[in-house]
């Protein structure tokens, strides 16, 4: 599969409490493949990541506030998890609109762990085949998702994975989808 995404821009939508590995590993893979990752957030300044739900990790600079971000400026979207991050993002109307614009443009969207929560609130989950962190499986099923416990699920332009243990295949699938969509 093609793995060169030179010249692409990939938005990473997240806020405080993002699971650090779910940000940093796909971010590094995008850069390694030649793409430019961009941190988009409802916050300005910096965000603080987490290791699990309890331990604060590193801080990261926000590149663009989501209220100012436009999907047409990016080739793909990554929505990392982290309980606090995902629970906050899901009710942010600017974040919902940003995610919806990627679906409307049929651009790749990759979401892991608790990240798919926002798809419910944005009205984008129903009828899709997805995976996620097990604790939100009932939420997704109740929203009309065909939920499955698999390492990585691809449904059209949507890529979902369960947890940090799936990051290698999640990141590789993201790069393949971006390469295929932009060649």
Which residues are known to be catalytic? 114
d(CA 19, CA 57): 9
Alpha-carbon distance of 120 to 6, in angstroms, equals 32
The residues with which 36 forms a beta bridge, in sequence order, are 9
Task: Tell me the Cα Rg of the chain.
Answer: 14
d(CA 170, CA 163): 9
Dihedral pair phi/psi, residue 64, rounded to 5°: -145, 135
- H helix or E strand, kind and range, residue 111: strand 109-112
- In whole angstroms, give the CA distance from residue 6 to residue 89: 29
């Amino acid at each position: 599969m093609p793995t060169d995404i030179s010249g692409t821009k990939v938005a990473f939508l997240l806020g405080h409490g993002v699971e650090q590995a779910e940000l940093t590993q796909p971010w590094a893979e995008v850069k390694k493949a030649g793409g430019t990752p961009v941190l988009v957030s409802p916050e300005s300044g910096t965000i603080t990541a987490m290791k699990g739900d309890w331990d604060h990790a590193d801080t990261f600079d926000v590149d663009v506030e989501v209220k100012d971000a436009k999907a047409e400026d990016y080739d793909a979207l990554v929505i990392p998890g982290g309980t606090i991050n995902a629970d906050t993002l899901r009710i942010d109307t600017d974040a919902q609109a940003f995610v919806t614009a990627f679906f409307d443009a049929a651009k790749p969207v990759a979401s892991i762990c608790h990240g798919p929560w926002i798809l419910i609130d944005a009205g984008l989950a129903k009828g899709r085949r997805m995976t996620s962190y097990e604790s939100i499986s009932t939420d997704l099923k109740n929203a009309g998702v065909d939920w499955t416990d698999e390492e990585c699920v691809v449904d059209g332009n949507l890529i979902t994975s369960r947890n940090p243990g799936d990051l290698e295949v999640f990141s590789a699938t993201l790069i393949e989808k971006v390469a295929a969509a932009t060649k």
